[in-house]
């Protein structure tokens, strides 16, 4: 991976922006800092303004593990595409499938919330219902390894068996056949009509996009992690506001050049 703010990487980004690419971003750990309680997370105002300005110039997609209903109020603008539940919700063409995913999750909730469920009496372990997926959170647990094993053992008995997607002290339960971020991005690129795309993310779920290695998709990871398939990296989430500001600056320059060219013609 190369540092996104190196001269070479900034030059590549500048050239990439000339094509008005699809710009896609994760939320938690990317646009918004990770916080102790997920419901307290906020996208900084300056980042929201840069996103809104970018969305006026080129298609913007938000691709998040949150449910769409949870993510939308965090944004302060309307992206062209809003994909929730790590891809299980909002992907164009999967509307009917999303209804089936929600039905499966309701069945899992019934299985998980019955009498005698050990996980329900476990301190600092919570289950989030995101409609099209479920998620076990254990960020504040004292013995995280023990809790992780407890969750995995319980999940093994669910019918039907979920696909599991690990995050930062969270285990996501995805219905069988639900698209993930790596499947969502090619669909969005095609639907957008853009020749190129840029994707920015921070965790395991985003690696599915990074591993696509599509020549038309430039990828950026928050934090330099050994083995990541992303092409560029930012040192940490604190660099995201600067990165967004640079993208907005590049977009303004392209827009002004287009106006001048049109006037000169």
Residue 168 lies in domain? 95-174
What was the pLDDT predicted at 258?
76
3-state secondary structure of 24: strand
Residue whose structure tokens are 């398939």: 229
Count of other CB atoms within 10 angstroms of residue 43: 23
User: Are 31 and 148 contained in the same domain?
Assistant: no
Percentage of residues in the chain having pLDDT higher than 70: 99
Residue 102 pLDDT > 90, yes or no?
yes
User: Are 141 and 14 contained in the same domain?
Assistant: no
pTM over 0.75: yes
Residue 263 pLDDT > 90, yes or no?
no
What was the pLDDT predicted at 8?
98
User: Are 59 and 89 contained in the same domain?
Assistant: yes
User: Are 110 and 188 contained in the same domain?
Assistant: no
- Give Dmax over CA atoms of the chain in angstroms: 75
In whole angstroms, give the CA distance from residue 22 to residue 240.
Answer: 18
What was the pLDDT predicted at 256?
87
> Mind listing the pLDDT tens digit for each residue in 170-199?
999 999 999 999 999 999 999 999 999 999
Domain boundary among 124, 140, 174: 174
> Mind listing the pLDDT tens digit for each residue in 34-81?
887 788 899 999 999 999 999 999 999 999 999 999 999 999 899 999
pLDDT tier at 167 (50, 70, 90 boundaries)? confident
User: Are 148 and 188 contained in the same domain?
Assistant: no
Residue whose structure tokens are 């500048």: 14
pLDDT tier at 265 (50, 70, 90 boundaries)? low
pLDDT tier at 264 (50, 70, 90 boundaries)? low
Tally of structural domains, the chain: 2
User: Are 199 and 160 contained in the same domain?
Assistant: no
DSSP designation for 222: E
Q: With contact defined as beta carbons under 8 Å apart, do 212 and 87 qualify? A: no
């Amino acid at each position: 991976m190369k540092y996104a703010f190196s001269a070479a990487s900034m030059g590549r980004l500048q050239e990439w922006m000339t094509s008005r690419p699809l710009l896609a971003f994760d939320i938690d750990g990317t646009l918004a800092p990770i916080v102790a309680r997920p419901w307290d997370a906020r996208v900084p105002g300056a980042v929201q303004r840069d996103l809104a300005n970018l969305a006026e110039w080129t298609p913007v997609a938000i691709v998040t593990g949150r449910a769409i209903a949870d993510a939308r109020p965090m944004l302060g603008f309307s992206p062209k595409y809003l994909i929730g539940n790590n891809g299980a919700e909002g992907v164009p063409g999967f509307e009917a499938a999303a209804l089936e995913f929600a039905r499966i999750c309701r069945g899992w909730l019934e299985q998980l919330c019955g009498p005698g469920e050990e996980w329900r009496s476990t301190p600092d372990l919570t289950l989030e219902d995101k409609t099209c997926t479920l998620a076990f959170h254990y960020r504040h647990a004292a013995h995280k390894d023990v809790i992780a094993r407890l969750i995995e053992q319980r999940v093994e008995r669910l019918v039907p068996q979920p696909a599991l997607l690990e995050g930062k002290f969270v285990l996501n339960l995805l219905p069988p056949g639900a698209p993930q971020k790596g499947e969502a991005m090619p669909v969005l690129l095609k639907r957008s009509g853009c020749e190129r795309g840029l994707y920015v993310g921070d965790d395991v779920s985003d690696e599915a996009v990074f591993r696509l290695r599509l020549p038309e998709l430039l990828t950026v990871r928050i934090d330099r992690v050994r083995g990541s398939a992303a092409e560029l990296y930012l040192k940490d989430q604190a660099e995201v506001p600067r990165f967004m500001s640079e993208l907005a600056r590049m977009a303004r320059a392209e827009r002004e050049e287009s106006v001048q060219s049109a006037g000169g013609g």
